[in-house]
A = this chain, B = another copy of it.
Amino acid sequence: MLRLLTAGESHGKALLALVDGFPAGLTVDTAAIDVELQRRQGGYGRGGRQKLEVDTVEILSGIWQGKTIGSPLALSVSNRDSKLERLKELERPRPGHGDLTGAIKYLGSIRGILERASARETAVRVAAGALTQQLLGQFGITVFGYVVQLEQIAAPPQPGEVTALKALRDASPLYTLNPEVDPRLVTRIDEATAAGDTLGGLVEVRVIGLPFGLGSHAQWDQKLDGLLAQAVMSVQAIKGVEIGLGFEASRRPGSQVHDEIAFDPARVNEPTLGYVRKTNNAGGLEAGMTNGQPLVVRAAMKPISTLRKPLASINLDTKESETAAYERSDVCALAACSVIVESVVAFTVAQAFCEKFGHDSLTEMTARYGKFLELARER
């Protein structure tokens, strides 16, 4: 079982991810993890904090001579802005945050809640996701996230090969696959900044090169669609998740939804085993299992809850109406969100991959992966 727990507060000493059950024998590229951490800090619309800190990962355990050894990996991202002990309590809970509900649930301070509820925690989920991407990469699997809509402005992904699309994305101020729309997105963020408002949007993640049979139909809590939905919805600010056509599937008749099956003997050596589909409306998942097609997940990010022009709230001590407290924040973190959702999808897919192929050692997993394709072709 590949497991993830995180710890750490927004202004504490560090964020930590403990990744347990990671296979032995993988050469870990720390710099590649840092690239993802810095992608998470980028994107148009971020505030001042991201410029203060350049996140880098420190791997505290689980590696010897550059390779994983089967031990848990502890990934640490330090907070340069580590001032928690100097920070004060807030009295005026901010709508959209956990301030009010957390203070009541735990019968404690707002500060204690917001420091942990903060999206700063996602830094180490990105680190963990980037680590698992290196594992998945050994099997030709690519996880790839980008922005597809800002508020009401669609930025439909251009077609193309992954490498070209990644280049497109990495050149985009908002991590879209659509350079033509980008200027309009930037303008819209400038408008919102001026108005003291915030913006959300849609992100999409594709996973390419997947074999058949990750996840399982056999028990509700083993279905990969459910596990993905949990991981994605647990990301701060996400209010909706869909797979493949998603909500659009509910608006079409069955004859226009299900992906007809054909067989192409020329592709029998691919992970698809030659079973091809003209459409991929299912988004790569049928009955909670991967079906050899690209996995497609989309998530809806609400606009950031902390507004420069604060919302109405109350003083929790006096119960009088006051405006919400203001903690430094961004106008739009949608680009970052695409990195985070990519990361949690990667981790979840890696969990399913480890469940299917075992996770003692890369050597054994590699042998098993090849053997599975062979047995599956013979079925």
Contacts and interface: CB of A to CB of B under 8 A. Distances in A.
A201 B71 CA distance: 29
Given A240-B240, A376-B104, A71 B253 contact: no
Interface stretch (A137-145, A159-167, A243-251): A243-251
Contacts of A379: 103-104, 107, 316
A1 B221 CA distance: 11
A314 interface: yes
Interface string A52-85: 0000000011101101011111100000000011
A342 interface: no
A36 interface: no
A213 interface: yes
A309 B70 CA distance: 30
Nearest to A240: B242
B245 A302 contact: yes
B288 A16 contact: no
Chain copies in the assembly? 4
Interface string A188-206: 0000100101111110000
Contact of A292 (B87, B101, B287): B101
Interface stretch (A27-35, A172-180, A229-237): A229-237
Contact of A287 (B24, B98, B230, B375): B98
Main secondary structure of the interface of A (DSSP, over half): mixed
A332 B255 CA distance: 13
A314 to B, nearest CB: 5
A25 B70 CA distance: 30
Contacts of A70: 102, 105-106, 108, 112-113, 116, 216, 218
A100 B286 contact: yes
A270 to B, nearest CB: 13
A254 B218 contact: no
A247 B202 contact: yes
Contacts of A200: 249-252, 254, 257
Given A18-B18, A254-B302, A265-B319, 17 more contacts: A9-B61, A9-B69, A20-B218, A24-B106, A64-B109, A101-B287, A105-B213, A113-B287, A151-B252, A195-B253, A229-B230, A239-B244, A239-B247, A250-B301, A253-B303, A258-B305, A262-B314
